[in-house]
DNA sequence: GCCTTTTTTCACCAGGTGGTGAAAAGTGTA
DNA sequence: TACACTTTTCACCACCTGGTGAAAAAAGGC
């Protein structure tokens, strides 16, 4: 519905207004992304996607094949952008600070691109992060899906942290990463839970508040775990 | 299937072996719990639940009504036990340590009951935690569901932390709780992601490893956030 | 034994599901 | 114009969905 209106409105007087081909493909992905993010894979029907995109059901299968392939296409579309942004951010940090790197700096370089993209990248990204958070907590097939798309950049984080704290054990690094990703994904998915929980004091849409706390939180936690492990 | 076999096997030679009434109700809840945990609410059909419980589909509606009510029954069944265990644990900590309480102690009293229950409470609890983790990351209705069942004990945590660090602002406390709950739920849901990510170094089923790190991690993060906020 | 109440099964419904095949409409090229 | 090709629509299928009502079976009270 929404997308259909937008599409019809988009062409002003000059150009032919109807989206076609690749544009329409993109429209379908947008609708699917929003719906999957809100209701999960099984909570969405191809009919709903088609309806919101203002498109016939058969067209979805024409472009993407089965429903699951549509889901993968949604997941894949932004994964590359995300991975590249994080990789660039971390490389830049390493090259700029070299031997003066800190744990908090590395973690910031890892997380901040996501916050910035969520803030500046438009509405689609918020849906996407909610989707990833949901997949991250899906036991059945979430683990492999996450691994398939995001493992390399995580290994880059772990390796960089290992440079900053050479004495740290990999066991600790991986566990700390899991704690970190749990916090980060929940914050990025903006479920609204903190709004009601805090009775209006905090807002899950306030990513600036997240930025002001999450980096320090994770870094301190990391240092504490490493220190405790070394002590034992 | 599984449950049906168990049920048939359970009665040895003496007693009538067939479960009935409340026992059967419990069997249905068990099957539903495991399936919902793995595949989410929409990923499970009442037929699957019935089949795994070795029961007719209509019996599910006879006992629980609509599918959503079955889900709520699953969610509710263990919520009370959970909340009471946590509340008792925190009260005991407060009474035992009084003015000598620490942030890490409070956080441990809040989280450890869940770890212990997951380790000692039998297989159903692991499914249940996976289920809660999934609901926690569901934007559509996860927020209200979590609030409905778990808000009171969270407020107890926040209030206790406020006693330990009276200068801390509530904003910081709530954000730290969100970070904490993200880490905790992901660890408890045992998605298996850390196994593949760490290439066998860590195992998501190793809750002892979680216990050895998560409390210190969260406590240090909390202290860092509070310190940073006070400095500003 | 009989009778009432609860528990369990069976047959079934209206509507929705993912997906397909062929026709139609549109587009570009000559 | 005619032609080949891509994109979009339409009608449709076999199957599954949550849910119901009545009959059957079991359990309990007397």
Over chain B (232 residues), the average pLDDT of each successive run of 10 is: 37 37 87 97 98 96 97 95 96 96 98 97 92 91 88 96 96 97 95 93 97 98 92 66
CATH 1.10.10.10 fits A21-65, yes or no: no
Which residues 77-136 of A have a C-beta within 8 angstroms of B?
Answer: 130, 133-134, 136
Q: Tens digit of pLDDT for each residue in A76-129?
A: 999 999 999 999 999 999 999 999 999 999 999 999 999 999 999 887 999 999
Residue B68: nearest nucleotide (C-alpha to C1'): D18
For residues B227 and A219, give the distance between their C-alpha atoms in angstroms, rounded to a whole number.
13
Give B132 CA → D16 C1' in Å: 28
Residues of A in contact with B183 (CB under 8 A): 178-180, 182-183
Structure tokens at B138: 């569901």
Residue A39: its pLDDT value, please?
96
Closest CB to B172 among A130, A213, A225: A213
Give the chain B residue nearest A128 (alpha carbons): B139
Give B43 CA → D6 C1' in Å: 36
In the CATH hierarchy, which fold is given to the domain comprising A79-230?
A: Tetracycline Repressor; domain 2 (1.10.357)
Closest CB to B171 among A37, A202, A216: A202
Residue A59: nearest nucleotide (C-alpha to C1'): D8
For residues B156 and A70, give the distance between their C-alpha atoms in angstroms, rounded to a whole number.
44
For residue A144, give how far its alpha carbon lies from the nearest alpha carbon of chain B (Å).
Answer: 7
Cβ count near A41 (within 10 Å):
22
What lies within 8 Å, CB to CB, of B4 at 6+ separation is B52, B53, B54, B55
Residue A20: nearest nucleotide (C-alpha to C1'): D7
For residues B44 and B209, give the distance between their C-alpha atoms in angstroms, rounded to a whole number.
32
Residue B103: its pLDDT value, please?
97
Listed by start position, the domains of chain B span 21-65, 79-230
Q: Which DSSP category does A100 fall into?
A: G
A22 touches strand C (CB under 7 A): no
A66 touches strand C (CB under 7 A): yes
Helix axes A170-189, B170-189, angle to 10 degrees: 120
For residues B191 and A133, give the distance between their C-alpha atoms in angstroms, rounded to a whole number.
13
Cβ count near B78 (within 10 Å):
21
Contact B137 A42 (CB under 8 A): no
For residues A219 and A169, give the distance between their C-alpha atoms in angstroms, rounded to a whole number.
16
Contact B179 A197 (CB under 8 A): no
Residue A3: its pLDDT value, please?
41
Q: Tens digit of pLDDT for each residue in B138-172?
A: 888 888 889 989 999 999 999 999 999 999 999 99
Q: Tens digit of pLDDT for each residue in A32-70?
A: 999 999 999 999 999 999 999 999 999 999 999 999 999
Closest CB to B221 among A133, A202, A218: A218
Contact B143 A185 (CB under 8 A): no
State pTM to two decimals: 0.89
Which of B219, B184, B216 has the alpha carbon at shortest distance from A229? Answer: B216
Residues of A in contact with B221 (CB under 8 A): 216-218, 220-221
For residues A57 and A6, give the distance between their C-alpha atoms in angstroms, rounded to a whole number.
19
**Cα three-residue angle B219-B220-B226, rounded to 5 degrees:** 90
Size of interface A-B (CB pairs under 8 A): 215
Structure tokens at A19: 């989206």
A232 touches strand C (CB under 7 A): no
Residue B24 backbone phi and psi in degrees, to 5: -65, -40
pLDDT category, A145, cuts 50, 70, 90?
confident
pLDDT category, A15, cuts 50, 70, 90?
very low
Closest CB to A202 among B175, B180, B213: B175
For residues A198 and B158, give the distance between their C-alpha atoms in angstroms, rounded to a whole number.
10
Contact B130 A144 (CB under 8 A): no
For residues B121 and B124, give the distance between their C-alpha atoms in angstroms, rounded to a whole number.
8
Q: Tens digit of pLDDT for each residue in A147-187?
A: 989 999 999 999 999 999 999 999 999 999 999 999 999 99
Which of A180, A154, A44 has the alpha carbon at shortest distance from B183? Answer: A180
Give the chain A residue nearest B193 (alpha carbons): A143
Contact B183 A180 (CB under 8 A): yes
Residue B230: its pLDDT value, please?
73
Which of A128, A132, A133, A138 has the alpha carbon at shortest distance from A34? Answer: A128
Task: Please list the alpha-helical segments (H only) found in chain B.
Answer: 2-10, 22-39, 46-53, 57-64, 67-97, 103-120, 123-136, 142-164, 170-189, 193-197, 207-231
A44 touches strand C (CB under 7 A): yes
HSE-CB for A56 with a 13 A CA cutoff? 4
Task: Please list the alpha-helical segments (H only) found in chain A.
Answer: 2-10, 22-39, 46-53, 57-64, 67-97, 103-120, 123-136, 142-164, 170-189, 193-197, 207-231
Residue B203 backbone phi and psi in degrees, to 5: -130, 130
Cβ count near A12 (within 10 Å):
7
Residue B213 backbone phi and psi in degrees, to 5: -125, -40
If 0-12 CB within 10 Å is exposed, 13-18 middle and 19+ buried, where does residue A92 land?
exposed
Nucleotide D26: closest residue by CA–C1': B20
HSE-CB for A136 with a 13 A CA cutoff? 30
Residue A232: its pLDDT value, please?
64
Greatest extent of chain B over all pairs of C-alpha atoms, in Å? 73
Nucleotides of C under 7 A from a protein CB: 6-11, 16-22, 26-27
């Amino acid at each position: 519905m929404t997308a259909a209106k937008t599409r019809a409105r988009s062409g002003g007087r000059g150009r032919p207004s109807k989206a076609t081909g690749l544009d329409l493909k993109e429209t379908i992905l947008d609708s699917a992304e929003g719906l999957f993010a809100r209701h999960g894979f099984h909570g969405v029907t191809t009919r709903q996607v088609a309806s919101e995109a203002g498109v016939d059901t058969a067209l979805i299968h024409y472009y993407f094949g089965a429903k699951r392939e549509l889901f993968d296409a949604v997941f894949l579309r932004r994964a590359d952008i995300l991975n590249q942004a994080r990789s660039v951010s971390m490389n830049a940090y390493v090259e700029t600070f070299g031997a003066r790197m800190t744990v908090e700096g590395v973690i910031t370089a890892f997380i901040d691109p996501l916050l910035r993209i969520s803030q500046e990248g438009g509405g689609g990204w918020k849906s996407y992060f909610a989707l990833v958070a949901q997949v991250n907590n899906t036991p059945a097939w979430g683990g492999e899906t996450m691994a398939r798309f995001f493992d390399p950049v995580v290994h880059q984080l772990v390796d960089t942290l290992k440079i900053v704290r050479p004495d740290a054990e990999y066991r600790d690094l991986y566990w700390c990463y899991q704690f970190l990703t749990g916090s980060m994904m929940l914050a990025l998915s903006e479920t609204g839970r903190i709004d009601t929980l805090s009775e209006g004091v905090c807002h899950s849409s306030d990513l600036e508040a997240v930025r002001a706390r999450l980096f320090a939180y994770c870094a301190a936690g990391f240092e504490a775990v490493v220190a405790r492990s070394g002590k034992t």
